[in-house]
Amino acid sequence: MILLNTVQKKYGNKLVLSIPNLTLKDGIIGIVGNNGAGKTTLFYSILNLIKLNAGIVKIDDFEVKEEKWKKSTGVFLDDCFLISYLNCREYLNLVANLYGVDSDSLEIKLKLFDSFLDSIPDMRIQISKLSKGNQKKIGLVGALLNENRLTILDEPFVNLDPKSQWELQNIILKIKNKNQMFLIASHQLDHISKISDKVIVLKSGEIIDSIDRKYLKIETLNRLLVD
Amino acid sequence: MKNVIILLMKNEMKFVLRISRARVMLLFSLFLWAQYYFSSFHTNSFKMMITPVYLSLLSIIHSQLLYSWDSSFFSFMLTKVSREDYIKSKYYFHCFLLLISSSIVIVMDSVKQEPIIFQTVAIAVYLLGSLPYVILLLGRFNKKPVDINKGAFMNYEGFTIMPFLLVLYLLFSIAIFYYPINYFWSESIAFYVFFALGCIGFLIRNSILKLIVIDFNSVGKNLFENYLKKIK
């Protein structure tokens, strides 16, 4: 469970995030909003990467500054979550080792991603030499390979080909279990509306709506974002 | 040492070996050591002001971009690794660099049959017990991200003030102890004091690192926001 209480973040004088109270429970939670709506800032706040002007963030009853969440959280927001001078194999080994996953278990876990990663000809290629799409795949696998309590993905479908987008959607649905929470920000409303149990709509740093799966329609999301 | 710290140190070693900018900067030390080898220092006191720089050459050069080296994957480090493990890995990596630099200088002194090997060892131990902490604290000033794919020279990212501050620290911190002790007692006592201070500094590393980690809790966020601004 993630709890945000009176969270505010300003860049200069501009308020970019203002969340009076938000509780997120398990399941797949989609975060949608136009550019500058505060999606990534919300993630940075949850991940304790930025100094908040006010408020506290808790993951499973512990304040994020206590760092207990790190062992059970998978994140891929952008290129800064990749280590470009490592090869794909070394990167995934490093991530697995940081989670305490041994190499045998890693092999088993990677089987799930066989088809998703088949566009990468050799796992010994340095990450910096891969295409944008393949780099993204490595980052996503790094975030998803452990059965994390919390997984945070920012625009996971961007730069992926249609087949890979469809595979990623299936992988997320396959690995999701009752005790896991996914926070996924995306502009691709079709994917978000298919996989999310709940969608939160952000505008100018504020939550303007929160829609449960049973009421979730792509037209509603479209209308909220366009209006 | 924790497994995570060893993993991060191995990772940093790969960084040094694979990123030409980091590698070339360290290879530059070879020229400076050659200069040290072919120079002759006739007095202990003069040598003592110069030697610390050579004893810590690798560490000083690599620390020039401490934290900034990681700017392209800083988010990874801050979300996958605890701040304590991250700082400790940096600390032990700089201890490792200090050990290599010191060993090279001590071997050179032995080959040249310099009569002041104990003095060099004493200063090396003093540096081991103090310099890595100073490096970790000064890293907060490296607010600019670096492009690790650029070459070591003519990269238009400039040099940082850090090596200058570190050399000042080396000169002053040694002079502060050396000259009064030498004046009131003797030179050899000064070197025993350096040796003892180094040992104490290394033995109480956990307490000092705890304070640096507390400081890094806010410094890390500032650096992240700075890297983010500049990268975007």
**Distance from chain centroid for Cα B85:** 18
Q: Could you read off the pLDDT of A113-125 as tens digits, one per residue?
A: 988 998 888 889 9
Check if the beta carbon of residue A23 is closer than 8 Å to that of residue A138: no
Query: Are A86 and B231 a contacting pair at CB < 8 A?
Result: no
Tally Cβ neighbours within 10 Å of residue A186: 22
B211 touches chain A (CB under 8 A): no
A158 touches chain B (CB under 8 A): no
Instruction: Provide the percentage of residues in chain A whose pLDDT is more than 90.
Output: 33
Cβ-Cβ contacts under 8 Å, A124 against chain B: none
Residue B42: domain span: 2-231
Instruction: State yes or no: pLDDT of A160 exceeds 70.
Output: yes
Q: How many domains in chain B?
A: 1
The residues, any chain, with a CB within 8 Å of residue B60's CB and separated by 6 or more, are B53, B163, B166, B167
Pick from A106-110, A156-160, A210-214, B125-129 the range whose average pLDDT is largest: B125-129
A123 touches chain B (CB under 8 A): no
Distance separating alpha carbons of residues B6 and A177, to the nearest angstrom: 33
Distance separating alpha carbons of residues B193 and B191, to the nearest angstrom: 5
Query: Sheet holding A73-76: strands in order across?
Result: A73-76, A150-154, A181-185, A27-33, A198-203, A206-212
Q: What is the pLDDT of residue B11?
A: 93
Q: What is the pLDDT of residue B157?
A: 66
Q: Could you read off the pLDDT of A163-186 as tens digits, one per residue?
A: 999 999 999 988 887 788 999 998
* ipTM given for this complex: 0.89
Instruction: State yes or no: pLDDT of A159 exceeds 60.
Output: yes
> How distant is the Cα of A132 from the closest Cα of chain B, in angstroms?
15
Cβ-Cβ contacts under 8 Å, B18 against chain A: 85
**Distance from chain centroid for Cα A189:** 15
Distance separating alpha carbons of residues A1 and B199, to the nearest angstrom: 47
Q: What is the pLDDT of residue A204?
A: 86
Distance separating alpha carbons of residues B53 and B91, to the nearest angstrom: 18
Q: What is the pLDDT of residue A225?
A: 75
A8 HSE (CA, 13 A, CB side): 9
Instruction: Provide the percentage of residues in chain A whose pLDDT is more than 70.
Output: 100
Which of B76, B83, B222 comes nearest A83 by C-beta? B76
Instruction: State yes or no: pLDDT of A63 exceeds 60.
Output: yes
How large is the greatest C-alpha to C-alpha distance in chain B, in angstroms? 58
Distance separating alpha carbons of residues B138 and B67, to the nearest angstrom: 10
Q: What does each of the 232 residues of chain B score in pLDDT, given as a tens digit?
A: 678 999 999 999 999 998 888 888 778 888 888 888 887 765 566 667 788 888 888 998 888 888 888 988 999 999 999 999 999 999 999 999 999 999 998 888 888 777 667 888 899 999 999 999 999 998 888 888 888 777 666 666 666 777 788 888 888 888 888 889 988 998 889 889 999 999 999 999 999 999 999 999 888 888 888 888 766 5
> How distant is the Cα of B15 from the closest Cα of chain A, in angstroms?
7
DSSP track, B51-93: HHHHHTHHHHHHHTTTTGGGGGGHHHHHHHS-HHHHHHHHHHH
- Strands A150-154 and A181-185 come out as parallel
Question: Rounded mean pLDDT of A98-103?
Answer: 87
